[in-house]
Amino acid sequence: MLDRSQAPTAFPIEKIKFPSAEKYILDNGLLVNCISLGDQPVFKFELCTPAGGIHTDQAGLASLVAQMMKRGTRNHTAQFLNQTFDFYGAFWEIQATLDQAGFTVYGLSKHFDKLMPYVVEMIQEAMFSEDEFTKELEIEIQKNKLNWEKTAYSASQLFRKNLFGSDPYGRSATPDSLAKLNIQDLKDFYKNTWAQKMPTIFISGKISKQDIQVLNQQFGSIAFNIQKSNLGDTPTFQQAIHHQEKKENALQSSIRVGQAGINRGNPDYFGFSMLNTLMGGFFGSRLQKNIREEKGFTYGISSSLAPMHRGGYWVVGTDVKNENVEETLSEIKKEVRLIQEKLVGEEELNLVKNYLMGSFTGELTQAFDIAEKVKIIEMEGLSEDYYDLFQTKIIEISPKEIRDLANQYLDPSQFTEVVVGGN
**Domain assignments of the chain as residue spans, ordered by start:** 22-219, 242-421
Q: Which pLDDT score is estimated for 352?
A: 94
At 102 the three-state DSSP class reads: strand
Q: What is the pTM of this model?
A: 0.92
Instruction: Assess if CATH 3.30.420.40 describes domain 22-219.
Output: no
Question: pLDDT below 70 — which residues of the chain?
Answer: 1-2, 7-13, 232, 423
Q: Which pLDDT score is estimated for 11?
A: 63
Q: Which pLDDT score is estimated for 233?
A: 72
Per-residue model confidence as pLDDT tens digits over 312-355: 999 999 999 999 999 999 999 999 999 999 999 999 999 999 99
357/15 Cα distance (integer angstroms): 8
CA dihedral sign of residues 397, 398, 402, 408: negative
Q: Which of 328, 277, 326 is nearest to 298 (CA)?
A: 328
**Strand 22-25 versus strand 42-49 pairing type:** unpaired
Could you tell me which CATH class the domain 242-421 is placed in? alpha beta
Task: Report the 3 state secondary structure along 15-81.
Answer: CCCCCCCEEEECCCCCEEEEEECCCCCEEEEEEEECCCHHHCCCCCHHHHHHHHCCCCECCCCHHHH
Between the alpha carbon of residue 164 and those of residues 168, 239, 402, the distances in Å are 8, 9, 27
Q: Which of 296, 300, 243, 259 is nearest to 421 (CA)?
A: 243
Label residues 258-295 b or e (16+ Cβ within 10 Å = b). Answer: bbbbbbbeeebbbbbbbbbbbbbbbeebbbbebbbeee
Q: Which of 291, 397, 366 is nearest to 43 (CA)?
A: 366
Between the alpha carbon of residue 360 and those of residues 354, 356, 364, 366, 397, the distances in Å are 10, 6, 7, 12, 16
Q: Which pLDDT score is estimated for 423?
A: 67
Q: Where are the alpha helices (DSSP H) in 202-345?
A: 209-219, 269-276, 286-287, 325-341
Angle CA 201–203–204, to nearest 5: 160
Output the CA torsion 386→389→393→395 (10° steps).
120
